[in-house]
Amino acid sequence: MAHRGDARDFPENTIPAFVSALSCGVRHLELDVHLSSDGIPVVIHDHQLLRTTGRQGSVFQLHAAQLLQLSAHEPQRFGERFRGTRIPLLSDVLALLEGRPEVTLFVEIKRASLAHFGHEQVVARLADVLRPAREQCVVISFDLAAIYRARQLGGFAIGWVLTDYDPHARLKYEAVQPEFLFCDQAKLPARGALWRGPWRWAVYEVDAWDDALALAARGVHYIETMAVQPMCQALRAWQAAQHVSIPPP
């Protein structure tokens, strides 16, 4: 699963990052969504613009048309190399799915937008944009109420991003029964099988192939990585060494 696209080699959450991931053969993309001041879902991780664009301000202060004029080239990380790469609308990314039914998009609702606009507005706006591609989209969030509302409102598959891997969280997700559970690799116990259930595990911050194999042995279905190209290369090398043929990632 490409975490914000091929975000190691391209500015995160941008069309070039998603196109690169797809060109590597990745079939699962993850991205982050905030609402602009006029309620349009835009693809960006931080609502503060500084890290992504190099300018001050918040997504919440600008209309979508104004945000589209900004360069999301991550200057602190890439300098001027990707200047001119814009912040995409969620609808722009959905266009990449057309004619590609094998691709699944995991759309994370950010908590700052929920706090600023309220659950009803954020989930409703998101559902309106995603509905034409609903069968290929999974709505995820740290906020359990938001994903529960997405399931009620639009019939979306949902994924809960755990803040902690503990019994209290287990009671909550067993009640809601999300299709996916996401967890940071660092928050998992050091060993042992993960909790079993009708959900699928997706573990993020995984950039080493040996870690991916170890997690698979513990019951993890997906690993989420920004290091898309080296992880795909490692997968192909592993397939060759094992003399197996499995679908691409």
Task: State the Cα–Cα distance between residues 90 and 18, nearest whole angstrom.
Answer: 12
pTM assigned to the model: 0.95
Task: Identify the domain containing residue 191 by its residue range.
Answer: 2-242
Q: Strand, coil or helix: what is 1?
A: coil
The residue assigned the tokens 């600023």 is 116
Q: What is the pLDDT along the chain (249 residues), one digit of tens a residue?
A: 999 999 999 999 999 999 999 999 999 999 999 999 999 999 999 999 999 999 999 999 999 999 999 999 999 999 999 999 999 999 999 999 999 999 999 999 999 999 999 999 999 999 999 999 999 999 999 999 999 999 999 999 999 999 999 998 888 888 899 999 999 999 999 999 999 988 999 999 999 999 999 999 999 999 999 999 999 999 999 988 987 665 555
- Domain presence at residue 248: no
- Domain presence at residue 132: yes
The residue assigned the tokens 């060993």 is 191
- Domain presence at residue 114: yes
Task: Give the CATH number of the domain where residue 25 resides.
Answer: 3.20.20.190
Of 137, 115, 109, 131, residue with least CA distance to 41: 109
Q: Strand, coil or helix: what is 184?
A: strand
Question: How many domains does the chain contain in total?
Answer: 1
Q: Strand, coil or helix: what is 178?
A: coil
Q: What is the sign of the dihedral through the CA atoms of 132, 133, 137 and 141? A: negative
- Domain presence at residue 247: no
